[in-house]
Amino acid sequence: PDAIGPEVHDYEDLLAAASPVDWTPVPEGRAGSMMYTSGTTGSPKGVVYSHRSMVLHTFGTMMTDTLGACERDVILPVVPMFHANAWGLAHAGVATGATLVMPGADLSPGALAGLIESESVTMAAGVPTIWMGVLPELVGRETSSLRSVICGGSAVSRSLSEGFRETTGLPILQAWGMTETSPLAATCNIKSTLDHLDDDAKADLRTAVGLVTAGVDFRIAEPETGEELPWDGQTSGELQVRGPWVAGSYYDDERSPESFTDDGWLKTGDVATADAEGYIRLVDRTKDLIKSGGEWISSVELENEIMAHPEVAEAAVIGVTSAKWGERAMACVVTTEGADLSADDVLAWLDGRVVKWWMPDRVEFIDEVPKTSVGKFSKKTLRDRFADVTVD
């Protein structure tokens, strides 16, 4: 009306003004939506979701041992619709009758923390970068309504999860998926059989991506042969998944055979382990592993150890050329505001936390880690930026 700013319509008034419409049934297998991958390692690929797969994925978000979305929830999805339909949370809200809180144009940490408090949000979801900014803004606020803070898109560090537990009483719930999995495929809820673990052990467990959602199958496989590898928490291989809301091909893309096996498994490109309880832990992306002297270095594990330092905000590790070793690790580090951190400090922090030959040969301090459109670290951008760097 006379207010300054965008015109706002009342949802209930719009519903009341609508004319009756005859609903035309749609074949469940027909395309209902198409999303494009973020192109972390190459050009984006189109993923088509059928009406059936979207409905089944919505049911998946409502399961108690995944996200448990329900009518009582007030859901704040700090993820865009172009990111796999806001992780399916918009659909979950409509299906359950939950309240949806849309953050709007102001995604500043203070604004998001204010929404959590003022709207009594029960479930919030975003990438690690979002929650790193929001965490200090939650100090002193009323957050007792929160029952779940979901984080995905990149690995969740122990320090970030524990920071939320100390501030709100609620650790972060790590979730894992891809555009190809609609995206929810795993969440790190702790089984009742593991309730006996102490707080320290539970904090370590929460850095895993967790257990697959009911309806989704997974295996740890030898990438070339497809041979299934043991769930011993040590043996790593490619994480492969299949299920009713997992894609079987890409839209009009000749690269489909590279990503899907003949027997229907999606080759995720993630290197992972699984333990005897079924908890999946990502080791790296196959294209981000660093091969040094014929041995593999996990960039993700190095990043997590570096980001555990209290003066480190973000860290990304890439491989750079070495005449002797082929590749060596280089750490790109973003410090917290006001921190006075040197390369030697970073290396001293890592000493004893990782094996000697994993130690980065170079530490580069940068203003920020470049991100893809969905908030993932863009290591491709970093590799291009430091393409001329060589070490002995």
- Is residue 30 a contact partner of residue 53, using CB atoms and an 8 Å limit? no
- 257 backbone dihedrals φ, ψ, rounded to 5°: -60, -20
Q: Which of 166, 227, 291, 368 is catalytic?
A: 291
Residue recorded with tokens 């027909």: 30
Distance set, CA 329 to CA 19, 368, 390, 391 (Å) = 62, 18, 11, 9
Exposed/middle/buried for 180, CB within 10 Å: 0-12, 13-18, 19+?
buried
Residue 314 designated active-site: no
Count of CB atoms within 10 A of residue 373's CB? 13
Q: Which of 191, 296, 321, 381 is catalytic?
A: 296
Tokens of 320: 């750079």
- Is residue 312 a contact partner of residue 380, using CB atoms and an 8 Å limit? no
Q: Which of 162, 180, 301, 314 is catalytic?
A: 180
Residue 180 designated active-site: yes
How far is it, in rounded angstroms, from Cα 76 to Cα 299? Answer: 31
How far is it, in rounded angstroms, from Cα 53 to Cα 182? Answer: 8
Q: Rg of the Cα trace of the chain?
A: 22
What dihedral do alpha carbons 173, 280, 41, 126 form, nearest 10°? 0
Q: Which of 37, 61, 181, 372 is catalytic?
A: 37
Provide the H-helix boundaries in 269-342. Answer: 299-307
Residue 380 designated active-site: no
Residue 291 designated active-site: yes
- Report the catalytic residues: 37, 180, 291, 296
